[in-house]
Amino acid sequence: MIKLSKNNEKKEYETLRKEIIGRYSRKKTLEEYRNYAKQGLWKEEKKLFNKYLEKGSLILDLACGSGREAFPLVRMGHKVIGIDNAPPMIRLAKELSKKLKIKVDFKIGDATDLKFKDNKFDAVIILYNSWNFISGENNRLKCLEGGYRVLKPGGYFIFSSHIRRFFSKEMVGWIKQLIKMYFLRYFGYPVREVEWGDVYYKNKEKVECLYIHKPSLSKIKKQLKMANFNIMEIIIGIERYNKKKNMRKIKKNYGFFVCKKPDNLT
Ligand SMILES: C[S@@+](CC[C@H](N)C(=O)[O-])C[C@H]1O[C@@H](n2cnc3c(N)ncnc32)[C@H](O)[C@@H]1O
């Protein structure tokens, strides 16, 4: 494959980081997230939290958004610190925390650069595919390693992620990407994708660019191993309502992961 130079790669990641912060700072997005905060936990999240978190846990919520998962977790009897790198999102979360009278310590922070002491938290979470917004394999690994560092031994890292499946409804998109990355770039066509699995979406008005990285299941498992986690449980699939067909469907290209920092670290 024609690879981007390390400098260009770094530049693209920095551009993307700013674009993502910009996207989550927009008025329209913030209004959407005001509503998401009311929706609360997804069925799969609730199931895993009930199974793995002991009452009174101290939880670090990475890329917390407007507090969709933080508020219910406090109601369940836990303490939550939430960080997000979009300052307007943190302002919104603080406003909602006051309104709802639910105490969460919301702060601006980056999920790839955690400013917390080692062994502090009972659980670290990063949900609603927020981990997929981190560009670059090494940056996603930094997030996992950081989570591992700040967890107490025996603590849980719980996250959700898109899962790339080539032979799926998305196959045409992957074939297009293959052509772009392996052929068109060679002929000088401007291609933004750095890694296989990077996806850029356009919105309905075909203007906004939304980046997301869709890793394969084996890559996720490999990265969790590299960060020294033990994988406890993986739920493949997410139940979603299909408006057109008026029925609930399981989307298989999504997963929930529960990983543990080993208890005995000698
Ligand atoms: C899809 S939203 C999810 C928000 C929330 N977790 C939820 O489930 O409603 C993604 C969030 O990730 C944040 N984000 C993206 N990259 C981040 C990073 N590197 N560090 C911290 N927050 C990040 C965005 O600002 C945005 O609020």
Q: Which ligand 1 atom lies nearest to the CA of residue 61?
A: 6
Q: How far is the CA of 101 from the centre of ligand 1 (A)?
A: 23
CA distances from 93 to 63, 69, 108, 162 (A): 11, 11, 11, 25
Q: What pLDDT is attached to residue 24?
A: 94
> Which amino acids bring their CB within 6 angstroms of ligand 1?
20, 24, 36, 63-65, 68-69, 84-86, 89, 110-112, 127-128, 130, 133-134
Burial class (CB in 10 A: 0-12, 13-18, 19+), 266: exposed
Taking the CA of residue 67 as centre, how many other CA atoms within 13 Å lie in the half-sphere pointing to its CB? 28
In sign, the C-alpha dihedral spanning 23, 24, 26, 29 is positive
Q: Hey, which of 133, 139, 142 would you mutate to test ligand 1's pocket, going by the most ligand atoms within 8 Å of its Cβ?
A: 133
Question: Alpha-carbon dihedral of residues 96, 102, 104, 107, nearest 10 degrees?
Answer: 20
Task: Please tell me whether residue 6 adopts helix, strand or coil conformation.
Answer: helix
CB 151 within 8 A of CB 143: no
Q: What pLDDT is attached to residue 7?
A: 75
Q: What is the pTM of this model?
A: 0.94
**What distance in Å separates the CA atoms of residue 89 and residue 63, rounded to the nearest whole number?**
10
Q: What pLDDT is attached to residue 240?
A: 73
Q: Domains, the chain, ranges and CATH? A: 21-165+216-260 (3.40.50.150)
Q: How far is the CA of 131 from the centre of ligand 1 (A)?
A: 8
**H-only helix segments in the chain:** 6-23, 27-39, 43-52, 70-75, 87-100, 137-150, 171-179, 217-226
Calculate ∠ Cα 78-81-83, nearest 5°: 145
Q: How far is the CA of 14 from the centre of ligand 1 (A)?
A: 16
Task: Please tell me whether residue 228 adopts helix, strand or coil conformation.
Answer: coil
Q: What pLDDT is attached to residue 206?
A: 62
| Pairing mode of beta strands 58-62, 247-260 | unpaired
Q: Which ligand 1 atom lies nearest to the CA of residue 143?
A: 19
Q: Hey, which of 43, 84, 106 would you mutate to test ligand 1's pocket, going by the most ligand atoms within 8 Å of its Cβ?
A: 84
pLDDT digit of tens for each residue in the chain (266 aa)?
Answer: 556 677 777 888 899 999 999 999 999 999 999 999 999 999 999 999 999 999 999 999 999 999 999 999 999 999 999 999 999 999 999 999 999 999 999 999 999 999 999 999 999 999 999 999 999 999 999 999 999 999 999 999 999 999 999 989 899 999 999 999 888 988 888 888 899 999 988 766 665 678 999 999 999 999 999 999 999 999 998 877 677 776 777 778 999 999 999 997 66
Q: How far is the CA of 75 from the centre of ligand 1 (A)?
A: 21
Q: What pLDDT is attached to residue 4?
A: 65
Q: Across the chain, how many H-helices and E-strands are there?
A: 8, 9
